Amino acid sequence: MFNGVPKSVVLASLFGLIPILVGLASTFNVAIEQSLKESFIRIALIYSGFILSFMSGCTFYVSSLEKERDILLWFSVAPVLLALLSILIPFMQSFVLALGFLVVLEIERKLHKIRALPGWWLKLRFPMTSIVVVLLIFLGFRI
């Protein structure tokens, strides 16, 4: 799945899933206080917003290097706006964040097409984004 991706990048990416996994795990009927469960969920959502903003910043930087693709520069700001929007609509927060990750992936796909990213980039980003989107969707259905 991660053929050609540097091992340190894969490890850092996989470790980055831990806060989201802890937030999701706390939604199940585990023997911890409700307030602690809500804190874990909140941390997972805030962390997801930070990561989304970081990824958006990465695409902004790479897009700024490509003179003929100014439109990607402007689209790279959209995920940050979605992260901010998710704060305003807490009942759909994880779904809006998932949408933001999909927008970043599409920008990365366009950047990959013009060879602005390393060859291994999408081999990492597609599975990682897929996992994060699925986790956020499950987190969004918490009751």
CB atoms within 10 A of CB 55: 24
Secondary structure element (H or E) that encloses residue 73, with its range: helix 70-75
Read off the pLDDT of residues 86-125 as tens digits, 9 standing for 90 and up.
Answer: 999 988 999 999 999 999 999 999 999 998 999 999 999 9
Sequence spans of domains, the chain:
7-140
Cβ contacts of 137 within 8 Å, gap of 6 or more = 94, 95, 98
Segment 21-61, tens digit of pLDDT = 999 999 887 778 888 999 999 999 999 999 999 999 999 99
Contact residues for 131 (Cβ-Cβ < 8 A; gap 6+)? 17
59: left (phi over 0), alpha (psi -120 to 50) or beta: alpha
